Structure 1
Amino acid sequence: MTDLQWMRPVNVGLAAALALLGLEAGAQAPDDRLLQGRQAYEQHCSSCHAPPGQTSPEAPDLRRLDSFCRRLSEPALILRCRSDVDAYFVHSVREGKVRAGLVHMPPWKDRLDEATILAIRRYVETPAWSEVPGATPR
């Protein structure tokens, strides 16, 4: 084994963890993603899911999607849980929600790309919505 071969598993693991966090090379800066998420949420989501920080009787509170993940303490489990919630969120937004023949949420796959959907997700999970760049107090 050469001097640096032992680092390969570490580098691969670190790259995977950073990718899950959205920090891969060329990724949008966090503030830009949050601003994009805020704008997209206000334009496409807030009419049903309520303005930031408020609840709606018509639609679920999106801030609670990863409430189970927040109770975990093992970093690897937290990453996996958040990845699963992200996948569920993207699928739900893209495909919509139909139950017993009733449309509870329309599909957005023709209007929102995955990057925008994930930006909305990051914005929604931001603890202090008022700290997002460009946010206005309500």
Structure 2
Amino acid sequence: MKHPIRVFAAALALAAAITPAFVQAHGPVTPQAVDTKGLPDLGKQWRDENPYRANPHALKVGASAYNQNCARCHGLEAVSGGIAPDLRQLDRDCTGMKNAAKKAACYKEMDNYYLTSVRNGKVRNGAVYMPPFEGVFNQEAMWAIKTYLESRRESN
């Protein structure tokens, strides 16, 4: 009888050899360009809240940009497969708030958290969990993606 660990290791090696690169979750990837034509120009000053909230064209641009650049880690249609956070829940602490002023402040805070995360990436103990996208995507692309994520938001 063959040793079970050797059998498992051989099966794992075979699976890795025949699995297409696009199926493997992490690894070197090249970000895809985001066409932001038709969106209002936001200028050089970074906004502190989503200026495209409820903009239908931004939603379309954001959906395409997300699915080309973010879905490989955060899941198709923002439904996480467990590799990275489920971004439908990004604003979950805000959605159930009854006080309108507190709810608006919460969304603004989450917009800031989102933008900081996308611009600077996520690094812990020297390990890159998410690469920085500042200089790769412009502000318009980042806010369009946030608009898409808001459309996918799970309610409490």
Q: Structure 1 29/49 Cα, relative in aligned 2: closer, same or farther at 3 Å? A: closer
> What is the root-mean-square deviation in Å for CA atoms of aligned residues?
2.2
2:57 to 32, 39, 42: 32
Given the alignment of the two structures, is residue 50 of structure 1 paired with residue 75 of structure 2, yes or no? Answer: yes
Matches within 5 A, 1:74-113: 74-113=99-138
Q: Over residues 50-96 of structure 1, what are the superposed CA-to-partner deviations in whole Å (9 max), with x where a residue is unaligned?
A: 10052222100011011000121111111111011001101100100
Structure 1 range deviating more: 49-58 or 99-108: 49-58
Q: Output the TM-score relative to the length of structure 2.
A: 0.62
- Structure 2: stretches of 5+ with no match in the other structure: 1-47
| Among candidates 121, 124, 127, match of residue 146 of structure 2 | 121
Q: Is the 8 A contact 1:20 1:79 kept in 2?
A: no
8 Å contact from structure 1 (residues 97, 104) kept in 2: yes
Gaps of 5+ in 1: 1-18, 129-138
Q: Which has the larger radius of gyration?
A: 2
Count of equivalent residues: 106
- Displacement of 1:20: 5.3
Q: CA deviation at 1:28?
A: 9.1
